[in-house]
Each structure stands twice: as C-alpha cells, then as structure tokens.
Amino acid sequence: MADKYHDTVAKSSVTVDDSAVAAETAKILEIAGDKHNTPDILKFLFSCVELTSLRSTDSQQSISALVDKVNLFESEHGDLPNVAAICVYPNFAQTVRAVLEVSEVEIACVAGGFPSSQTFPEIKVAETALAVASGADEIDTVINLGDFLDDDWESVTDELGEIKNSCRDHALKVILETGALQTATRVRAAAILSLYSGADFIKTSTGKGYPGATPEAVYVMCKCIKEYFGATGRMAGIKVAGGVSTVADALRYYAVVSAVLGEKWLTPEYFRIGSSNLANELYKTITGKTENFF
C-alpha cells in the first residue's frame, strides 16, 4: 500500500528481522551481566515506577489508600526517591489529586477505551479530556489495533492525533500492545506511527489479555525512538509494562534502554516501568526489609 504513512515506516532503518533483534538483545543482556545491579541503579529504577491500580474492584477508598501509601513513603523514606507516578482509571483522577501530597509524583490515567480501544473515537477524545480536567498529568491510551492490522494507518494516526490534542499540554503515552503485534515488523510500524502522531511515550503493553513486555520489543521501540530523535530532535520516552515484577526483570530493561538510547534517557522523565509488584520488590531489595510497602 502506497501512502505517506506506509512510506514513512518503509524509510526506517530499524531492523525488523526477528532473529537479528533477538540476537542483538541477547548480546546487550550478556554484556550487561550483573553490572547494573547496584544500589544507585536500583534506587533509580524505583524512581521510574508507576504504581498501578486498574482493577474492576477499584473504589475511591482503595485508591485513596494507595495514594496514602505514597504520601507515607515520602515521610518515612525521605532519603529515597519516590515513585514516578500513580496510574489509575480516569474516574479516579480527582481522588488521587485530592489525596496526593507529593508534588513530584505524577497522576497518570488510562483513557480512550482502555484496554481494548474498542469504542467510538468521540468517546476516546472526551474521556481523555475529562481525565485531564479531573487532574490527570499523563494519559495512557491504546493504539487502535484493529485499524492498524487492517493497514488503515491513516485512521490510526488521525485518532491518536485527536487524542493528543485532547491532552492539551499533558503527556500522552501510546500503548502498542506488543504481545498482540508479535513481530518486529509490526512493533516498528506501530512505534513510528505513534511517535509521528505526537506520542510523548510509547509503551509496551496493557497487561490485560496479551503477553506483556519483552526485551526484544523494547529494543525495537528504543531503536525507533532513537531514529525519531535523529530525524526530529524531539525526545520521546519509553514505558515498559506487563509482567515486569522482579528486580531482575527491571535490570534487563534498564540494560536495553541504556545500551540503545543512552544516559540521556535514563531519567523518570523518559523512562518508566508500570508495575506495583516491582515497587515492592525494589523496596525490599534496597532497604533489606521483608514486608511489602505498597
């Protein structure tokens, strides 16, 4: 199919050979070994975590309790960095805003028909606007996989552009759902379309219904971010989510991001990990305590 969307993706030099991607990723992880397993890097990884609660049983009471723990962490562990953000459904943005006392912690909301992206475009735009108006600093939305897989890339980018406009000056994270895309070819295309549609971050997964993040997918996404930066001068972030629950997992993704994107991206402004379980595991490793904090 010949159009500007397919032409833009076709011009990319990011490799889409799955075996080559696997080999390059394995090489990065082998070289990294355990060298990143240091107290400073573990603290940094903690500062990149987005505490996430996206359950059908979420309520104002349960979300308030989660936010209270973030406030308590600030008072009890002022020597440690706090988490980067709290990620909730959009109807809880106002709750988080009312309870949160730590100004450095961002409020992230899923919006736009999460997790399937299967609803009217007008609802996606309206839900995003409502989340922002209710106090969200950041919006996580899922790319329209149906249109993407049907090669209707114009609809994909038009919709993402409208959602980005609805975010106003707030950050938009576009979830590629890499477990559904499966191949490097599709991950590269979805990443490039999202970036050129205005995504401030590209994110691996929803953690709902499909396999989560993999180092290989993150490698391709980082390569796309680096290429996009070279072409536009605009830095976009990477968010890893879906099945990232151990310190070893986090260190693997740190190794990939560090190797491909470099030190400039090693800040919570451009690197995030969505996982409440990881926050507890990092906390226990850093402090030597055995109980969960969050």
Q: Write the burial class of residue 260 (CB in 10 Å: 0-12 exposed, 13-18 middle, 19+ buried).
A: buried
- Strand, helix or coil at 140? strand
Identified catalytic residue from 124, 164, 173, 203: 203
Active site residue 223: no
Active site residue 249: no
Identified catalytic residue from 124, 173, 223, 239: 239
Check whether the bond before 115 is cis (ω within 30° of 0): yes
Active site residue 152: no
Identified catalytic residue from 140, 200, 223, 249: 140
**Other CB atoms within 10 Å distance of the CB of residue 111:** 28
- Strand, helix or coil at 216? helix
Q: Which of 254, 270, 184 is closest to 224 using CA atoms?
A: 184
Q: Which of 255, 258, 186, 146 is closest to 14 using CA atoms?
A: 186
Q: Are strands 85-88 and 271-274 parallel, antiparallel or unpaired?
A: unpaired
Q: Are strands 237-241 and 49-52 parallel, antiparallel or unpaired?
A: unpaired
Backbone phi, psi, residue 174, to 5°: -100, 120
Task: Tell me which residues are annotated as active site.
Answer: 140, 203, 239
